[in-house]
Chains A and B, each alone.
Chain A
Amino acid sequence: MKKILVIFQKEMLDNLRDTRSWMTGMFWALFGPLLLGGIIMLLGNTIRENVEESLVLPVSGVENAPSLIAFLEQQDVIIALAPADPEAAVIAGDINVALIIPPDYGEDFSAGETAKVQLVFDSTRQSAIADISRAQSLLEGYSEYIGLLRLSLRGISPEVMRVVQVEEVDTATPQSQALIFLSMLPYFIIFAIFNGASPVITDATAGERERGSLEPLLINPLPRGWFAIGKMLSAMPFATFNLIITLAGFAAIFRFLPMEELLGIQIGFDLGPLAAVFVICLPIVLLACAIQTLIASFAKTTKEAGTYLPFIGLIPSLPGLALAFLPVKPDLWTMLIPTFGQQILINQFLRSEPISRMNIVVSATLTILLSVVITYIAIKLYEGERIITG
């Protein structure tokens, strides 16, 4: 068994000298925190702007509807002069929304007929949605207000017009909005683990074959399977290192970005939960190294391995991405699926929800079990002739 250590030490030395490879792997560890930090800053800014600032509404034909303008100004809207071509300006993204009041508005309005105005906007532009819906609801409010006045003048109770009154009870808080994006965090963590291991494993398996050093290596007097184990183990420090870098990156973001100010929430990612997430992810380190050792052992060249491995990292992290949009309850069955269970658990830690010990144990056990099975298959592969003949 000491000889496994010999393989481990050699692979560590060899791979640490391959600075470019593990630096590339480390980039993927920082990718998640940087991306999520960027999203939070953007999202935070839009939320803040919408709440705090008054709507600036470019209007064309202000002189055609003085009472509408007065109403809007009362509602804290800042009326601006619309550009000559409002539609072009909206398309170009210079303004979010524009109101066009045609010259015959006043005539229709005075005659008690339906007076038309145009609201110009692009409904696919996420950042404009708040402005658009605010302009829409203000215009509808004005329309209803005048309508009710007219009915009263004709002696009809305004209640006639109000068949159903909808009271909206929205349970979403700014916090839960922001948490949608935080749910992507497990995805990035798993991605970072896989990408930490893959350059090392590629070099130690497919690279060994490509260099022509595999055949002489296997003639050394130790059970063939030990080579698979030694190589797999040597990737684990790199995967763990990536895990730590990613977690540190996220912790730094939550600490140094003004989360309270940006999203109106505080995220509990102190040392305690951080350590817990680290421990929860350790079985994934094992799994990532086992799967990639197996897959890369089939590959004839590092180039071939390089085409497989990114996908391998993507598959277990996909459920995490889905979790961002389809919330799943932490039932026991979800813990039976390696990597999926951990992603749910990480989410629970982020939301400071109570976590069942049972779930942690079950998800870790299943993941370790799967890793052992995969390692066994890799050992069998090394014992066969295929590893040499290709």
Chain B
Amino acid sequence: MIHVQGLSKSFGKVKAVQNVSFFASDGQITGLLGPNGAGKSTTLRMLYTLLKPESGTAQVDGFDVRQSPLEVQSRIGVLADARGLYPRLTSRENIRYYGRLHGLRGEALEEQINSLMLLLDMQSIADRKTEGFSTGEKLKVAIARTLVHNPKNVLLDEPTNGLDVMSTRAMRQFILRLRDEGKCVLFTSHIMQEVAALCDQIIIISRGEVSANGTPDDLRKQTGHENLEDAFVAAIGSEEGLM
């Protein structure tokens, strides 16, 4: 459960995020859609405690990102835009490191790692050093370490970026699976079809502000366009930066 209210952040004179508010509930997929540079990643970064909001509040399961960052951090799993691995460590060691940083240990941790590897079909790369992994293989390791502590809230920043068609499909299946497990899934994308296909709730961001918010049906009604693509364009105000 993620609750954002009046969130703002600027870098120097650039107002990256202005007065953004939304609510993402458990068991739902919420998509942040917007052109490149609209402020999606900055919003997410404030949510996962990396950047401090200038004004407004953001809460995860009722914990404020500024007041109790550690509580927030242990309740979220984040696939950030930067998803670098440790090339000299194996997949298993990469995932285990994050598990231990979350305070997991021993049998419980190893079992959790094994089940994630099974789920992501990555047993063949489990004990190989991650140096030289393909983009898809790296992503699997990154996802597994994101979920190693079984977080209730999952934040994904452009999760299908750079993936081939097959991997993108697998990724979408995986996001749906997370929802079915009752997690609160929040992800950003600049790909309209992806958001349209997956999301229960869509938040459209452009120039740092929320320009539309609702279910796909709500958006059609709000903008008066039957076609969802036209609805997006109407909400953003231009076609620039969208796919």
Contact = CB atoms under 8 A, between A and B. Distances in A.
A14 B102 CA distance: 19
Nearest to A203: B88
Interface residues of B, number: 33
A218 B50 contact: yes
Contact of A219 (B11, B49, B89, B100): B49
Interface of B: 11, 45, 48-52, 70-71, 73-74, 76, 78, 80-89, 93, 97-98, 100-103, 142, 145-146
B97 A211 contact: no
A213 B71 CA distance: 22
Contacts of A214: 82, 84
B51 A385 contact: yes
B82 A221 contact: no
Given A6-B101, A220-B98, A220-B102, A211 B85 contact: yes
B73 A213 contact: no
Contacts of A388: 45, 50-51
12 contacts: A3-B101, A17-B88, A17-B89, A212-B84, A214-B84, A215-B50, A216-B84, A219-B48, A220-B101, A221-B71, A221-B101, A389-B51
Query: Nearest 8 pairs between A and B by C-beta?
Result: A212-B84, A213-B84, A212-B82, A221-B73, A211-B84, A220-B101, A221-B74, A215-B82
A389 B11 contact: yes
A58 B145 CA distance: 81
B86 A222 contact: no
Interface in A218-239: 218-223
Interface in A354-390: 385, 388-389
Contacts of A13: 89, 93
Interface residues of A, number: 25
Contacts of B71: 221
Nearest to B72: A221
A72 B48 CA distance: 90
Contact of B88 (A6, A18, A212): A18
A249 to B, nearest CB: 28
A217 B87 CA distance: 15
A368 to B, nearest CB: 28
A388 to B, nearest CB: 6
B142 A216 contact: yes
A134 interface: no
A18 B70 CA distance: 32
